[in-house]
């Protein structure tokens, strides 16, 4: 377990079938994300499914992630709460000032999920709230600030 409710299996879960073992030094990042953000989030949203958390270079490439992705460091997770994901996103935003959230993104592409991440070691959380959806013309995911 990396925290009370989140397991190492959830950290390394991938649907790609590729090797996704997390290097030992990155486990503390997974624990920090779980303890400081995911556990408090779970209190208000209930149990959630983790689509993607840590990504090995191969997994990150396979899912089209950028090399600078915080998933590479186990500092971000894509979570799917029960019920309406956008509603859950808005509920999560009520904790934005309180929790050390670096980025929280409502992503909508075929299905919906919430990308949520912690800051890198020694960096201040940016507390950015974004919406990510494919550009209707190019299909490329684009991100814009979310204004409540
Ligand atoms: Zn993500």
Expressed in angstroms and rounded, the spacing between residue 4 Cα and the centre of ligand 1 is 22
With 0.85 as the threshold, say if the pTM is over it: yes
Residue 61: C-alpha distances to residues 12, 58, 84, 85 (Å): 15, 5, 29, 26
Is the pLDDT confidence value at 148 over 80?
A: no
Give alpha helix (H) positions in 72-134: 85-93
Q: What angle do CA 61, 81, 118 make, to 5 degrees?
A: 55
Tell me the pLDDT band of 110, cut-offs 50, 70 and 90: confident
Give residue 46's pLDDT: 97
What would the pLDDT profile of 62-103 be if each residue is shown by its tens digit? 998 989 999 999 999 999 999 999 999 999 999 999 999 999
Give residue 139's pLDDT: 87
Expressed in angstroms and rounded, the spacing between residue 69 Cα and the centre of ligand 1 is 8
Expressed in angstroms and rounded, the spacing between residue 127 Cα and the centre of ligand 1 is 15
Q: What is the mean pLDDT of the chain?
A: 96
Expressed in angstroms and rounded, the spacing between residue 77 Cα and the centre of ligand 1 is 6
Expressed in angstroms and rounded, the spacing between residue 103 Cα and the centre of ligand 1 is 10
Tell me the pLDDT band of 143, cut-offs 50, 70 and 90: very high
């Amino acid at each position: 377990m990396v925290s009370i409710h989140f397991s190492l299996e959830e950290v390394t879960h991938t649907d790609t079938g590729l090797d996704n073992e997390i290097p030992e030094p990155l486990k503390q990042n997974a624990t920090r994300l779980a303890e400081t953000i995911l556990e408090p989030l779970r209190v208000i949203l209930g149990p959630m499914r983790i689509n993607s958390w840590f990504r090995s270079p191969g997994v990150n490439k396979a899912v089209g992630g950028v090399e600078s992705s915080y998933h590479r460091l186990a500092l971000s997770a894509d979570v799917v709460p029960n019920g309406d994901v956008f509603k859950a996103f808005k509920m999560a935003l009520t904790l934005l000032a309180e929790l050390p959230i670096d980025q929280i993104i409502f992503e909508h592409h075929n299905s919906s999920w919430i990308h949520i991440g912690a800051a890198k070691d020694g960096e201040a959380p940016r507390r950015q709230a974004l919406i990510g959806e494919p550009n209707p013309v190019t299909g490329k995911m684009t991100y814009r600030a979310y204004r409540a």
